[in-house]
Amino acid sequence: MGLLGYATSVKAQDIQSNTEGFNIGVRAGVGNWSSSYFLNLDELEPIGVGGGVRLGYGLNQRFEVFAQYNAKTFAIKNDWDTYRISSLGAGIRVHFGGTLQRLRPYVEGGVAGVNLLINPVLFNGGLVEYRLKGSSLALGAGVNYFLSPNLALHANATGTFGKFNSFQIASRGIQDRPDVRTLQFSLGINFFFN
């Protein structure tokens, strides 16, 4: 009789979430960037808007490897030809909770290449283009809320910390290597192919 009761209670526990296998996600959000190198350039348009796409593979219910691309425009209030930042990165995500839970928090870490393009910028009395590229450490945290075992809404916060290792002013490289920090908040949806 005890074995029958146990089997009935296990069957009644339906799977609410599954993070194994391939998944794809899209997101929209806001973000900012900052650098101690530039005098107030990062404060002229403090908030950018944009989105991204993410591909992942859940090795099991706990660990997932991923690659993602994010882009934001800061050309909102002022008259910029171009003011955007983008990043392409890869990393590992650690999920918490189990398949019987709809709400699954996570933390993630990885590396990202960051590209910043600003045009025009007033430099030495003329208008020029700034083009910067560099690498950074990316750290984040968030939560997935599963509507079904393979469809989840998510909220995420991610920060990157690094340096630009390429800095061009009007297509001419200079030796300076400015620091860069980004912070972004996003909402999106993930589909898990499990």
Closest C-alpha to 31, from 93, 60, 62, 74: 74
As a whole number of angstroms, the distance between CA 158 and CA 141 comes to 7
As a whole number of angstroms, the distance between CA 119 and CA 169 comes to 10
18-61 pLDDT, tens digit each: 999 999 999 999 999 999 998 788 888 889 999 999 999 999 99
C-alpha distance from residue 151 to each of 16, 18, 25 (Å): 10, 9, 10
Cα torsion through 153, 34, 160, 180, rounded to 10: 150
**In the predicted structure, residue 12 carries a pLDDT above the cut 50:** no
Would you give the distance in Å from CA 170 to the centre of its chain? Answer: 29
Please state the φ and ψ torsions of residue 10, each to the nearest 5 degrees: -70, -40
**In the predicted structure, residue 116 carries a pLDDT above the cut 80:** yes
The residues facing 58 across adjacent strands are 21, 64
For the entire predicted model, the pTM comes to: 0.88
88-110 pLDDT, tens digit each: 999 999 999 999 999 999 999 99
Per-domain boundaries in the chain = 20-193
CATH of the domain spanning 20-193: 2.40.160.20
As a whole number of angstroms, the distance between CA 104 and CA 121 comes to 44
Residue 114: helix, strand or coil by DSSP?
strand
